[in-house]
Amino acid sequence: MTAEIIEGAPVAERICGEVAAEVARLKAEHGLQPGLAVVLVGDDPASQAYVKSKGERSRAAGMHSVTHLLPGDTTQAALEALVADLAADPAIHGILVQLPLPGHLDEMPVIELIGPDKDVDGLHVVNAGRLVAGLPALVACTPTGCLMLIKAALGDLTGKHAVVVGRSLLVGKPVAQLLLAADCTVTMAHSKTVDLPSVCRSADILVAAVGRPRMIRGDWIKPGACVIDVGINRVPFDNPEQAALGKTKIVGDVNYKEALQVAGSITPVPKGVGPMTVAVLLHNTVLAAKRQAGIPG
């Protein structure tokens, strides 16, 4: 058996098309242009490429888009001042500060300054709390994208056992809440879970978001399970000559080659969850703009 590949790009393209149509409608009917601001501190190449993609996709959808690239030695005060200005700017409806921040910066005061209404990454304590309470909220982009891909692969999720490996605020915890809301039975696991392989093997749906390259082996996966790999890890090429040149490639938290022979469906890395994150970010920005303007829907 070879697993069905769950490609993120087609679903993401559909979402971006819907976003573009809604942006055009808001401009025509309400004179409202949703605006997104992205802030990046430091010069990490992968983050720079990701931020560039967010700007390009938001502009392609007809949105107002601004990007702030700050040096790696930016102070806490300078970052907070910028975010406070963006939070007060009526042309900006969504703010995303690219995480993780450099070690000398504290992300929590920054997220607090964004405020729940413009928190399109779903990290503010109000949005996190509303998600747990089952109330309308801006939900983190990657978990929302994961749920969309799972539903695209499986349809109705009622009664399925989902195991989430990883307990981060950005992915693990919110994706567990979304799966609970979809009537799954959810187990939260992590690197310190006793007999993690057995826990993973019990899953109809396995979400890997632990940040360790190829940690989830093929024999950890229940035959026919749906596997969502959120990991983005840079590792040396397997080819010794390429590795000697310092070349790296991106792999997930799942050993893809092994999992492909066991799972029923699986997301590749890259081109799986990644495209969904940007698409949901645009969707969240439009949703935030409508809420701030008092427009239903």
Residues 6+ apart with CB under 8 A from 26: 32, 33, 34, 286, 289, 290, 295
CATH class of 141-275: alpha beta
Cβ(254)–Cβ(229) under 8 Å? yes
pLDDT digits (tens, 9 = 90+) for 114-123: 999 999 999 9
The alpha carbon of 119 is separated from its chain's Cα centroid by a whole number of angstroms, namely 14
Cβ(35)–Cβ(262) under 8 Å? no
Active-site residue, 48 included: no
Confidence at residue 94, expressed as pLDDT on a 0 to 100 scale: 98
Confidence at residue 243, expressed as pLDDT on a 0 to 100 scale: 66
**Mean of the pLDDT values across residues 153-174?**
96
Q: Name the E strands within the chain.
A: 4-5, 35-41, 64-70, 94-97, 161-165, 185-189, 205-208, 226-229, 233-236, 248-251, 265-266
Confidence at residue 44, expressed as pLDDT on a 0 to 100 scale: 79
Q: Which of 117, 121, 229, 253 is catalytic?
A: 121
Host H or E run for residue 16: helix 8-30
**Mean of the pLDDT values across residues 28-48?**
92
- Please indicate whether the domains covering 31-115 and 141-275 agree at the CATH topology level: yes
Active-site residue, 33 included: no
Average pLDDT, the chain: 94
Burial annotation 271-295 (CB, 10 A radius, 16+ → b, else e): ebbbbbbbbbbbbbbbbbbbbbeee
Q: Which CATH architecture has domain 31-115?
A: 3-Layer(aba) Sandwich (3.40)
Q: How far, in Å, CA of 220 to CA of 140, rounded?
A: 27
Q: Is the pLDDT score of 226 beyond 80? A: yes
Q: How far, in Å, CA of 67 to CA of 280, rounded?
A: 18
Confidence at residue 260, expressed as pLDDT on a 0 to 100 scale: 97
Q: How far, in Å, CA of 295 to CA of 84, rounded?
A: 25
| Residue 258 falls in which region: left (phi positive, over 0), alpha (psi -120 to 50) or beta | alpha
> Over pLDDT 90: what percentage of the chain?
86
Q: Is the pLDDT score of 53 beyond 80? A: yes
Q: What single DSSP character describes residue 64?
A: E
Q: Which of 98, 173, 204, 229 is catalytic?
A: 98
Residue spans per domain, the chain = 31-115, 141-275
Confidence at residue 255, expressed as pLDDT on a 0 to 100 scale: 97
Active-site residue, 195 included: no
